[in-house]
Amino acid sequence: MAARRRTVVEMLRDLMGHEAWADRRLLQAVKDCQGAWEDAALREKLQHIHAVQLAYLGLLQGEPADWEGLERPFSSYEEFHTSVSRYHEQTAALGDCLRSDQLEKPITFPIAGETERRSSFRDALLQVVMHSHYHRAQIATRLREIGGQPPLTDFIIWIWDGQRSLQTES
The 10s digit of each residue's pLDDT in 5-29 is 889 999 999 999 999 999 999 999 9
Are 146 and 36 spatial neighbours (Cβ–Cβ below 8 Å)?
A: yes
Q: 167 pLDDT exceeds 60?
A: no
Beta-bridge mates of residue 106: 120
- Residue 60 above 60 pLDDT? yes
Cross-strand pairs, 108: 118
Q: Is residue 115 part of a domain?
A: yes
The structural domain count of the chain equals 1
Inside any domain, residue 55: yes
In a domain, 11, yes or no: no
Q: Is 18 a domain residue? A: no
Q: Tell me the backbone φ, ψ of residue 87, rounded to 5 degrees.
A: -55, -45
Residue 128 has what pLDDT?
A: 94
Contact status, residue 8 vs residue 100, Cβ threshold 8 Å = yes
DSSP one-letter string for 61-81: TT----HHHHTPPPSSHHHHH
Q: What pLDDT, in 10s, does the model give residues 75-108?
A: 899 999 999 999 999 999 999 999 999 999 999 8
Distance CA 106, CA 97 (A): 17
Amino acid letter for position 163: Q
**Structural domain for 61, as ranges:** 30-166
Per the prediction, the chain carries an average pLDDT of: 89
| Domain harbouring 61, CATH code | 1.20.120.450
Residue 150, helix vs strand vs coil: coil
| 121 within some domain | yes
Name residue 91's amino acid.
Answer: T
Q: Which amino acid, one-letter code, is at 42?
A: L
Q: What is the pTM of this model?
A: 0.89
Residue 12 forms part of a structural domain: no
82 within some domain: yes
122 lies in some domain: yes
CB 22 within 8 A of CB 133: yes
Q: Give all strands (DSSP E) within 13-142, no chain letters.
A: 106-109, 117-120
Quick one: pLDDT band at residue 154, thresholds 50, 70, 90?
A: very high
| Strand residues in 40-163 grouped as ranges (E) | 106-109, 117-120
